[in-house]
Amino acid sequence: MKSLLSSVAIAASLVVGAAGSANALDQIDWDMQSTYPGTLTQLGTLGKVLSERLNAVSGGEINLKFQEPGAIVPALEAFDAVASGAVQAAWSTPGYWTGKDTSLALFAAVPFGPRASEYIAWMKFGGGNELFDEVYSARGLFRLWHQVAALRGHRAGSLRLVPQGDQLRR
């Protein structure tokens, strides 16, 4: 299941409130408030895919219902809604919550920042995950961070062209 979650998520977070915890044997039926419309390529569609696949691989034991922006709370209130227990989970980017803690900008888009591989190395081996957990747990939240989305612009991150022919010798 870990590889499934890793393959469908992006640099968005699935934020889960402590109030939404359940025993291992309980059916989980949660609303996941999205800040992205389900039709938005990559950002919204992956939230829907996560919801559908999690339900499928759990045999219906985990029902994480994707909620369009504004369905339960306005999109930019999802962080506080999860923290208060009004919603069990949110599908978003930590960049939206920099007004709550400016360090969350490090976990969103960083213009002219590290390449995707460098960023992931920092997250996994350089203390990034621990810092991310510290920021969220201070608000009673748990987050799942999975993968860096393809960046647009200066550093294409995970988008690389493979050289062909003579270019390989350079």
Six token digits for residue 45 = 């569609």
Record the pTM. 0.73
**What gap in Å lies between CA 1 and CA 11, rounded to an integer?**
18
Q: What percent of the chain has pLDDT over 70?
A: 71
Tell me the pLDDT of the chain (170 aa) as tens digits.
443 333 333 334 566 654 445 455 578 899 999 999 999 988 889 999 999 999 999 999 999 999 999 999 999 999 999 999 999 999 998 989 999 999 998 888 777 888 888 888 998 999 999 999 999 999 989 888 765 665 543 333 332 333 334 433 43
Q: DSSP code of 74?
A: -
pLDDT at 90: 93
- Fill in the DSSP letter of residue 151: P
Encode pLDDT of 54-103 as tens digits: 999 999 999 999 999 999 999 999 999 999 999 999 999 898 999 999 99
127 backbone φψ class: left, alpha, beta (φ>0; ψ -120 to 50): left
Structure tokens at 14: 């699935």
Quick one: 108 exposed, middle or buried, by C-beta within 10 A (0-12, 13-18, 19+)?
middle
